[in-house]
Structure 1
Amino acid sequence: MKALAALLATVVAVPAAAQTQAAATAPAPAPAAPLPAPKLIVAISVDQLSADLFAQYRNRFTDGMARLLTGAVFPSGYQAHAATETCPGHSTILTGYRPAKTGIIANNWIDQSVARADKTVYCAEDESVAGATHDRYTVSDKHLKVPTLGEQMKAANPAARVVSVAGKDRAAVMMGGHTVDELWWWDGKTYSSYAGRAVPPVVQRTRDAVAAMIARPQEPLPLPGYCKPLDRAIDVGGQILGQGRFAREAGDARGFRTSPAADAAVLAMAAGLVQDMKLGQGQATDLIAVGLSATDYIGHATGTQGTEMCLQMAELDRSLGGFFNVLDQTGVDYAVMLTADHGAHDMTERQIERAMPMEAHVEAGTLAKAVGAGIGRDLKLTGPVLLGAEGDVWVDRALSPKDRARVLAEAVKRYDRMPQVAAAYTAAQIAAQPRPTSPPETWTLLERARESFDPARSGDLVVLLKPRVTSIEKPGPGYVETHGSPWDYDRRVPILFWRKGMTGFEQPLSVETIDIAPTLAATIGMRMDGVDGRCLDLDPGPGDTCG
């Protein structure tokens, strides 16, 4: 696909040769002395890039991802907490804290004190804004309780610049933090930021280029030969999936978002901001966070094992290569980190077709609405009784303390008997659980729940479904596969570090995404004390990145 090349030609100033130059070159020989601090940190999150998906395609990469494979490769990184959703995952990447500390326990949670009918609060909103609803919200960083690496860099040296761009607002906010120079996200129609911010010329050029792209129809993408074995139709809720090639009609903004072109646009804007702001060319190290969201949208809409995801992996590799080529042209000494906010596994229907055991959609009777209705009827209580769905569940605060205790006890009994439920823990049980100190793959379910638990925001009860029981009750357009479970297919993600001149190596043992921020901080001689994560040594020789 030529989407990135076309966008780069419009958005950034880059020689034509750099648009097609191969990026998978061998790294320079290892230096005799430790590398100096990089001038620019590039932190990339690929939404829903599971460790399994990475392993499936790593031998097919030839461009940007292939370059990263010549650096430090941690194929078994963990978003170790139970709530493996986009917002909690992104909150760990550049803070060094798990969601229990970041306060970002889920994409959405119930706050029964807010003045809105559904009581649902979005992780990246300011619900106190007059007239705000869960569907029409004002984007905000107010719910993130800890600083990001970029914030700490600016506190240490105010000359440092921090930029965050993404295909989702929650990705941009959680990686950028509370103090950013530029922060932009795709809002479904164009690229937006906080109210009152001036629109830089490069952002306007990106807006115009993407609008022109959406206005034109998109022809089907050519299918790489290695994708052809996945070219098999599957009927999911009346949709025929598995053979898509991202053709779209003129004006289809949703189709653009759920395509490789969406990542290409974010990368083009990021490259343009690096150029226009001269990131990495000042007296301090700068940071740009890049959230690539298309893999997640494509996974939700089509699953992970069709031509759609195969094409996405090929185009992601190519688009990253073009992005790195632009950075090369600046002459800036930059360091790259790439990871993901969570994983996923393929849609239930295709898994069943392949005779995979235990695959099932969640039953309606397992959801909080149905459970609460039964409890309310049996205990002769009015009101919703239980709020939420699966995962975090809240007891209605309008009930008396005595009735709330009765409802909670009854809910635990009922969930414990349900065949699709692995565990149901009360807030008191979770709060009493010591924080885990062992490798994340050894954690109990209670320990995983503990690391997503915030006593001010989490539910009165946390319900965890059994492996391969998806939280989707009925698949529909745009939503046939999901994540959010405490199981390793949702927890494991790759973590990659690359820098020109570094000696590459692979570490197969488990690490965590909370280790990323202290590791990047160490490369610029900065300590992040008190965080949950630890510094990873990126020097396989006698040196030590972590000092």
Structure 2
Amino acid sequence: MTFARKAMLLAACMTLPFATPALARRPVAPGPVPAADAPRLVVAISIDQFSADLFAQYRSHVTGGFARLLNGAVFPAGYQSHAATETCPGHSTILTGMRPAHTGIIANNWFDQSVARAAKSVYCAEDETKTAGPGDYVASVGHLMVPTLGERIKAVWPTSRNVAVSGKDRAALMMGGHRIDEVYWWKGKGFVTQEGATPGRVALEQNAAVATVLSAGAPGFDLPADCAVHDRAITAGTVTVGTGRFALAAGDATAFRASPRLDRAVIELATRVVDADRLGRGPTPDVLAISLSATDYIGHGTGTQGAEMCIQVHQLDAVLGDFFAALDARGIDYAVVLTADHGGFDMPERLREQALPQAARADAALLPKAVGERVGAKLGLDPKGLLLAEGPSGDVWVRSDLTPEQKSAVVAAARADLLAQPQVAAVFTHAELAETPMPTGSPETWSLIQRARASFYAPRSGDYVVLLKRGVMAMPVPGPGYVATHGSPWDYDRRVPILFWRKGMTGFEQPSPVETVDIAPTLAAWIGLKLPEGTFDGRCLDLDAGPGTTCGAAQ
């Protein structure tokens, strides 16, 4: 499918006010009908920073929601196959079936020097043409260039509902899309919705419940027996982590967010929406997208191998089990897919203690300011703002006031400078990436330039992209709340589990690599949504889950 065709489809797909007690549904118009046994509710769950490594580490200890999903179709080697393994690009793939090169979501942030404001960094889920309060922005899905599955379903069956709930705005918006009936995300001390819309009764009720917890505070969580081995203090810079229990001081909304309590609040809100909107009880399939963000906040704040992450995975297992039990109790015929937007890497200080000497923090000499100073001195150019970037890796933009010749010289000099640094694996220019064909075949065999190509969209991508060597974390200095990160092209950040479940399906495990872009075409087949060949970058995975669920149903 051409880009122009995709843009036309998106334009054709361009929130409804919340109503209680139940939203009225229009009669189904004559036309295509869902598969005879299509589930009436598709639940798509993303766990932010839930790597395939974490899944493998804890799968033998789960007894709740994860245990249920292990009885379905298990793909332990799923891939967010692109290089820009961040929250926004990853979420943009899950329900669009398209890689970031086609969704247009190349990173969490990129630089656009043409925007009419002093700050040229653009957030993936903002409307940069609108202003908000100091330090704030207007959240928007406008940068997403392709429809989501929920939008495609609504285009065929207007009675279907498309709803998203998350701990982050970018996750909810990238999974929900432009044509969304209801969307909520956590902000500050409660859940909010899109600009200009009023949060519904369910959000107000959930915010009141959260306020009660915040007002009183809460004790820490008990340490599960299998977590004892991880209960060990480790220091990174000025921060010591590894033994936390998530005790909550009264009024500490930041600590609430970086704890299992955030995920439970998101699930409780999702359950309220299921009831209020009567999701899964209409004539056509509904989509409920849920992104659980606490694993990411905890991974950044304490790493992936401390007592904190062990507690978090157990709490996730419990809250997912409660959610599925709630859907069961309501008699809803639902199907679930669970995956992640990216993986994660533990803090280098702990990894080195575990005999991984190659684990390291990026040298400050790789920061764009430092590189720009060296390049500016070499070429006789003002180094101020010469190179624009978020950090030592990823896309880099050259200052726009230079002549084409100066710009080319800066790219060449920066590339040579970076490739001489021992922590740099590769530097690819904009032209090189533009000339590289979109990768195909198994994502585990893709070269570094192919991984970078899957994240490349020419109008937004940088003048060059920097990829650090395996084990080098793009965070030179750790600090409170931020000791580890992700975003690399390596498999610890790319590999995520993909799990499908529906009551009565025959379970199996397939170890061969698949991609998150395979999720949307698979769900489309599951509900009998027929779409033209080439609609997705991904392929349908035959789950063999009964009539109407084979991949042929999507063609």
- The alignment's TM-score, normalised by the length of structure 1, stands at 0.92
1:439 match: 442
- The alignment's TM-score, normalised by the length of structure 2, stands at 0.91
- Residue 393 of structure 1 aligns to a residue whose secondary structure is strand
1:476 aligns with 2:479: yes
| Distance (Å, rounded) in 2 between the aligned partners of 1:199 and 1:253 | 19
| Distance (Å, rounded) in 2 between the aligned partners of 1:473 and 1:116 | 29
2:396 match: 393
Residue 239 to residue 519, structure 1, CA distance change in 2 (3 Å) = same
2:543 match: 538
Residue 210 to residue 235, structure 1, CA distance change in 2 (3 Å) = same
| Distance (Å, rounded) in 1 between the aligned partners of 2:453 and 2:43 | 31
2:460 match: 457
- Residue 551 of structure 2 aligns to a residue whose secondary structure is coil
1:391 touches 1:464 (CA, 8 Å); kept in 2? yes
Alpha-carbon shift at residue 116 of structure 1 (Å): 2.6
1:354 match: 354
1:43 match: 44
| Distance (Å, rounded) in 2 between the aligned partners of 1:498 and 1:443 | 29
Map Cα deviations across residues 100-134 of structure 1 (whole Å, 9 max, x no partner).
0000000000001112323100000000014677x
Alpha-carbon shift at residue 540 of structure 1 (Å): 7.0
| Distance (Å, rounded) in 1 between the aligned partners of 2:498 and 2:291 | 14
1:72 match: 73
Alpha-carbon shift at residue 66 of structure 1 (Å): 0.4
Residue 309 to residue 410, structure 1, CA distance change in 2 (3 Å) = same
| Distance (Å, rounded) in 2 between the aligned partners of 1:473 and 1:527 | 48
1:19 match: none
RMSD of aligned residue pairs (Cα, Å)? 1.5
Deviates more, 1:155-164 or 1:231-240: 231-240
Tell me which amino acid in the other structure corresponds to 1:239: V
- Residue 240 of structure 1 aligns to a residue whose secondary structure is strand
2:528 touches 2:548 (CA, 8 Å); kept in 1? no
| Distance (Å, rounded) in 2 between the aligned partners of 1:200 and 1:443 | 45
Please list, as runs of the form range in 1=range in 2, the aligned pairs for 1:306-317 lying within 5 A after superposition. 306-317=306-317
1:232 touches 1:306 (CA, 8 Å); kept in 2? yes
1:18 match: none
Map Cα deviations across residues 312-340 of structure 1 (whole Å, 9 max, x no partner).
00000000011111111111100011000
| Distance (Å, rounded) in 2 between the aligned partners of 1:542 and 1:203 | 38
Identity of aligned residues (%): 59
Alpha-carbon shift at residue 469 of structure 1 (Å): 0.4
2:192 touches 2:203 (CA, 8 Å); kept in 1? no
Deviates more, 1:297-306 or 1:110-119: 110-119
Tell me which amino acid in the other structure corresponds to 2:373: A
2:18 match: none
Please list, as runs of the form range in 1=range in 2, the aligned pairs for 1:175-324 lying within 5 A after superposition. 175-324=175-324
1:129 match: 130
Alpha-carbon shift at residue 542 of structure 1 (Å): 10
Gaps of 5+ in 2: 1-20, 22-34
Residue 544 to residue 154, structure 1, CA distance change in 2 (3 Å) = closer
Residue 150 to residue 485, structure 1, CA distance change in 2 (3 Å) = same
2:424 touches 2:469 (CA, 8 Å); kept in 1? yes
| Distance (Å, rounded) in 1 between the aligned partners of 2:549 and 2:127 | 42
Residue 132 to residue 198, structure 1, CA distance change in 2 (3 Å) = closer
Tell me which amino acid in the other structure corresponds to 1:534: R
Alpha-carbon shift at residue 543 of structure 1 (Å): 8.6
Residue 366 to residue 319, structure 1, CA distance change in 2 (3 Å) = same
Deviates more, 1:293-302 or 1:214-223: 214-223
Please list, as runs of the form range in 1=range in 2, the aligned pairs for 1:9-28 lying within 5 A after superposition. none
Deviates more, 1:353-362 or 1:444-453: 353-362
- Residue 46 of structure 2 aligns to a residue whose secondary structure is strand
Alpha-carbon shift at residue 506 of structure 1 (Å): 0.4
1:172 aligns with 2:172: yes
1:108 match: 109
1:16 match: none
1:107 touches 1:122 (CA, 8 Å); kept in 2? yes
Q: How many residues align?
A: 514
Alpha-carbon shift at residue 426 of structure 1 (Å): 0.2
Tell me which amino acid in the other structure corresponds to 1:471: A
Tell me which amino acid in the other structure corresponds to 1:538: L
| Distance (Å, rounded) in 1 between the aligned partners of 2:237 and 2:531 | 48
Tell me which amino acid in the other structure corresponds to 1:102: T
Map Cα deviations across residues 411-443 of structure 1 (whole Å, 9 max, x no partner).
111111111100000000011111111200000
Map Cα deviations across residues 204-250 of structure 1 (whole Å, 9 max, x no partner).
11000001111112112111111001111111222221000111210
1:119 match: 120
| Distance (Å, rounded) in 2 between the aligned partners of 1:409 and 1:238 | 38
Match of 2:426 among 406, 419, 423: 423
| Distance (Å, rounded) in 2 between the aligned partners of 1:435 and 1:199 | 41
2:525 touches 2:549 (CA, 8 Å); kept in 1? no
2:4 match: none
| Distance (Å, rounded) in 1 between the aligned partners of 2:271 and 2:549 | 31
2:505 touches 2:546 (CA, 8 Å); kept in 1? no
Match of 1:527 among 522, 530, 538: 530
- Residue 85 of structure 2 aligns to a residue whose secondary structure is coil
Alpha-carbon shift at residue 196 of structure 1 (Å): 2.7
Alpha-carbon shift at residue 367 of structure 1 (Å): 1.4
1:488 match: 491
1:335 match: 335
Alpha-carbon shift at residue 52 of structure 1 (Å): 0.2
- Residue 57 of structure 1 aligns to a residue whose secondary structure is helix
| Distance (Å, rounded) in 2 between the aligned partners of 1:386 and 1:247 | 42
1:153 touches 1:160 (CA, 8 Å); kept in 2? yes
Residue 426 to residue 221, structure 1, CA distance change in 2 (3 Å) = same
1:90 match: 91
Tell me which amino acid in the other structure corresponds to 2:88: C
Alpha-carbon shift at residue 541 of structure 1 (Å): 8.5
1:141 match: 141
| Distance (Å, rounded) in 1 between the aligned partners of 2:120 and 2:460 | 12
- Residue 467 of structure 2 aligns to a residue whose secondary structure is strand
1:166 touches 1:172 (CA, 8 Å); kept in 2? yes
2:528 touches 2:549 (CA, 8 Å); kept in 1? no
Deviates more, 1:123-132 or 1:335-344: 123-132
Alpha-carbon shift at residue 183 of structure 1 (Å): 0.3
Residue 492 to residue 35, structure 1, CA distance change in 2 (3 Å) = farther
| Distance (Å, rounded) in 1 between the aligned partners of 2:217 and 2:314 | 21
2:131 touches 2:137 (CA, 8 Å); kept in 1? no
1:243 touches 1:308 (CA, 8 Å); kept in 2? yes
